[in-house]
Amino acid sequence: MQKYFNSTGGLILLLLISTQIMAQQYRNAKEAQGLEVGLKAPLFAAMDQDGNHFKLEQALEKGPVVLIFYRGHWCPVCNKHLEKVQDSLQGIYEKGASVVAISPEKVELLNKTANKTNAAFTLLHDAGYQIADAYDVTFKPDSMSRLMYNTMLGANLKSAHDDDSQRLPIPATFIIGTDGKILWRHFDPDYKKRSTVQDILKHLPE
């Protein structure tokens, strides 16, 4: 009996330790830092809403890139932000820049964002959070937030993303120059605070 207790107790302890390790694998929003201005922007390739392959390196050959991380089609703050960018898209184009918005949502869900925001710019699927990780914006929301996102907002994070970790990006904005360096960024763990079109236009090179 004692042997069984020790064995079972050890198994429970092992499970508890494993659970703690898994919980510690993913940081909260305040622990994410985001890449700093002046650093080389990590190059990447990803699939867009039309199933085409996008390469950042090729986009930078044509001009600066405004890189926006957003949470998903279910996020009303994200949709409002992207709508504002769309409304001023011509002004961004006139500066020779392009806009790319990135989400961990699968390709088939990107068009939901396009339909809700009328976005005419590129929307990308961040497969396995690789781009968000490279730009240091990935975090895991707390359990109450995840419950609200999944039930009240219909995020269905486990099925919408490539894995069931339910991680999200800080909704950051980076302006990347043609030399591949980050010229400007807006980074705030508070998802309600977003880059303004005025700031984007102000920091785009002439």
State the residue for tokens 């990447």: 44
With respect to residue 16, please indicate whether it lies within any of the assigned structural domains.
no
The pLDDT value recorded for residue 26 is 78
Q: 92: how many CB neighbours lie within 10 A of its CB?
A: 21
Domain that holds residue 94: 28-203
With respect to residue 7, please indicate whether it lies within any of the assigned structural domains.
no
Q: How far is CA 176 from the centre of its chain?
A: 16
On whether the CB atoms of residues 51 and 165 are closer than 8 A, the answer is no
- The DSSP element (H or E) to which 7 belongs, if any, is helix 2-25
DSSP secondary structure of 118-173:
T--SEEEE-GGGHHHHHTT-EE---HHHHHHHHHTS---HHHHSSSSS--EE---E
With respect to residue 20, please indicate whether it lies within any of the assigned structural domains.
no
The pLDDT value recorded for residue 3 is 39
Residues 6+ apart with CB under 8 A from 123: 48, 49, 100, 101, 102, 103, 110, 113, 114
- Rg, the chain, Cα only: 19
The pLDDT value recorded for residue 30 is 86
What's the predicted TM-score (pTM) here?
Answer: 0.86
With respect to residue 13, please indicate whether it lies within any of the assigned structural domains.
no
What's 110's domain CATH number?
3.40.30.10
Mean pLDDT of successive 10-residue stretches along the chain, which has 206 residues: 40 42 66 95 96 96 98 97 97 97 97 96 97 96 95 96 95 98 97 96 93
The pLDDT value recorded for residue 206 is 80
The pLDDT value recorded for residue 8 is 43
- Count of domains for the chain: 1
